[in-house]
Structure 1
Amino acid sequence: MTTITTRTVEYPADNLTMTGHLALPAGTGLRPAVLIGPEGTGLSDVERRRAEALAELGYVALAFDLHGGRYLADPEDMLARCMPLLADPDRMRAIGHAALDVLWAEPRADRARTAAIGYGTGGAIALELGRDGVDLRAIGTVNALTTGRPGEAARIRCPVWAGVGSQDPIMPPAQREAFAEEMQAAGVDWRVVVYGGALHAFHHPTVGHTVRPGVGHHPRHARRAWHDVVALLAECLLPERPSGTD
C-alpha cells in the first residue's frame, strides 16, 4: 500500500476554530488537490478516511470542518446549525474559502489542479465556491443539488457532477429539476446521477445515533457513488500533468 501522511490542521472560519484533516500522498512533488466537505453532522472518520483514500490515489486532500470540531449527532442540533448556514451563500463561501486557503497553503497542493467535492452541507459549500468563481477543475456533490442566487451559476468554470438517491425526500424530483435547470441555463458542463432506491445520505455508513426520516445507507450505491467521484477527479485533474511532478 502507498505510504501516506496525515495531520490535523486548525484554522479560523465562521467565528470558530475549525479542525480539518489533511492527507498527503507519498513523494515530494506537486500533486492535484481535493477539498472534501462533510455532511451536515460535521467532520467524522468517514470523511477522514475518504481524504486518506484520495491521498493513496495521489491527491493532496483536505477534509474540512463545519462546526468547530463538533460532530452534531442530534438531528435538531444539526438542523439548528445547518439551516441558517444553507440559507446564507456568503457564509458558506467564507467557510469554503477558509478551508481552500489551508489546502493551498500546503506546498504540494497544485492550485491549478484543484477540485471540491462534498456531501450534504459540505457539497452545498463546494457548489457555492463554484458560483463564487473559484478556479476549480471539478465539483462533485452527493445529496447536495442546491440552487444558488440568480445568475451566479454562470461563474462555475468546471464540470459539475451530482449524485442523489431516487427516494431522497430532502432532494426530491422538483429540487433535482431546479438544479438541472440552473446548471443548463448557465451553460455548465453538468451531470446528475440518480441512484435507484437510495435515500438521503445513502453514501454514509450506518451510524449509531438517531437520524432524520428518509436517511439510510445503501452499500451498493455508496460504492458506486465513490467510484463515480474518483472517476470525475481522474478525468478532470489527471490528464494534464506539468513536467517535473511525480
Structure 2
Amino acid sequence: MPPVATRTVTYPADGLTMIGHLALPAGSGPRPAVLLGPEGPGLNDVQRRRADALAELGYVALAFDLHGGHWFTDPEEMLARVGPLLADPDRLRDIGHGALDVVRDEPRTDPGRIAAVGYGTGGAVAVELGRAGVDLRAIGTVNGLVTGRPGEARNIRCPVWAGVGSEDPIMAPEQRNAFTAEMQDAGLDWRLVVYGGALHAFHHPTVDQTVLPGVGHHPQHAERAWRDVVDLLAECLPVTE
C-alpha cells in the first residue's frame, strides 16, 4: 500500500496561529475525515502518529493544535493555559472551528462525513463542536468529560463515545457522572467505557516532562482505548472505496 501523505498546516484560532498535522490516505477520491484533538500539553508526535494511523485506515486526519505550536513540559504553565480554555466553551469552539475549516477545505475530504475525536482538552473541543450543532458523524472523547452550558447538548447530532480511567482524580466519578447525565438528559446515543485501574492520561506514553499526580500511562488500556476509537469510526464513519 502506498504511504500516507502528510503536511504541516497553519490556520488561525483562539487569536493564535495554529500548527496542525494533516495526514491523507492513499488514493485520489474523497474520504471521511477525522479531527483529532491532543491532550492538554498540546500537539506532539504522539498525536501526529495517531493521525497517520487513521490515514492508513483510509481517513483524512487532522491532528489539530491547541496552543499555537507550543507543547508544554511544565504542568503549571500548561494548567495556566488550559484552565481558562476549559472554562470557556466559546474558545473551545473557536479552536475546533479553525481545525474544521482546514479539513473542510481539503479536497480529499467528503464534507458530509466528518468525526471529531480528542484526548483530554482535545476531547473537550470535540464535544463542544457537537454542542455548537456542527454536523458530525461521531464524537469521541478520552478523559475530556467536561460538561457544557445547560441545554446545549441537545444540539449534538451524532453518537458520543467517552472513555476514562477508573482511578482518574481529574475526571473523578462525580465529573463523569455529570457528563453522562448531560448526555442522557439530551436523549443522545452515548457510551462510556471505564478502564479499570487507569489514571488520567493513561493513553499517552511517558515523555520528557514533569507529570502531575494522578497522571500515568497504562499501555494495555491505551491500546484498548485506541481500538475503541477505531471501532467507533468504523461504525459511524465507515471507509468505502
2:43 aligns with 43
1:111 Cα shift?
A: 1.4
RMSD: 0.9
Could you report, residue by residue, the CA deviation over 1:39-73 in whole angstroms, capped at 9, with x for unpaired residues?
01000000000000000000000000011100011
Question: SS state of the match for residue 12, structure 2?
Answer: strand
The amino acid across from 2:189 in the alignment is D
2:104 aligns with 104
Distance 1:203 1:2, change over 3 A: farther
TM-score, normalized by length of structure 2?
0.98
Inter-partner Cα distance in structure 1 for 2:140 and 2:99: 16
TM-score, normalized by length of structure 1?
0.97
**Percent identity of paired positions between Structure 1 and Structure 2:** 76
Does 2:56 align with 1:23? Answer: no
Structure 1's unaligned 5+ residue stretches are: none
1:2 Cα shift?
A: 4.2
Contact in 2 for aligned 1:2/1:56 (Cα 8 Å): no
Inter-partner Cα distance in structure 1 for 2:206 and 2:26: 31
Poorly superposed stretches of 4+, deviation over 6 Å:
none
Paired residues for 1:61-140 under 5 Å: 61-140=61-140
Inter-partner Cα distance in structure 1 for 2:115 and 2:35: 6
Paired residues for 1:140-151 under 5 Å: 140-151=140-151
The amino acid across from 1:205 in the alignment is P
Question: SS state of the match for residue 67, structure 2?
Answer: coil
Question: SS state of the match for residue 73, structure 1?
Answer: coil
Inter-partner Cα distance in structure 2 for 1:109 and 1:232: 19
Paired residues for 1:167-182 under 5 Å: 167-182=167-182
Contact in 2 for aligned 1:38/1:122 (Cα 8 Å): yes
2:195 aligns with 195
Contact in 1 for aligned 2:73/2:208 (Cα 8 Å): no
1:217 aligns with 217
The amino acid across from 1:83 in the alignment is G
Deviating more after overlay: 206-215 vs 191-200:
206-215
Does 2:11 align with 1:11? Answer: yes
State the aligned residue count: 241
Inter-partner Cα distance in structure 2 for 1:111 and 1:57: 18
Inter-partner Cα distance in structure 2 for 1:166 and 1:2: 40
1:14 Cα shift?
A: 1.0
Contact in 1 for aligned 2:38/2:120 (Cα 8 Å): yes
Could you report, residue by residue, the CA deviation over 1:94-133 in whole angstroms, capped at 9, with x for unpaired residues?
1100110001110111111100000000000000000000
Inter-partner Cα distance in structure 2 for 1:64 and 1:177: 28
The amino acid across from 2:206 in the alignment is T
Inter-partner Cα distance in structure 1 for 2:170 and 2:179: 13
Inter-partner Cα distance in structure 1 for 2:137 and 2:209: 36
Inter-partner Cα distance in structure 1 for 2:2 and 2:80: 41
Question: SS state of the match for residue 177, structure 2?
Answer: helix
Structure 2's unaligned 5+ residue stretches are: none
1:209 Cα shift?
A: 1.4
Question: SS state of the match for residue 180, structure 1?
Answer: helix
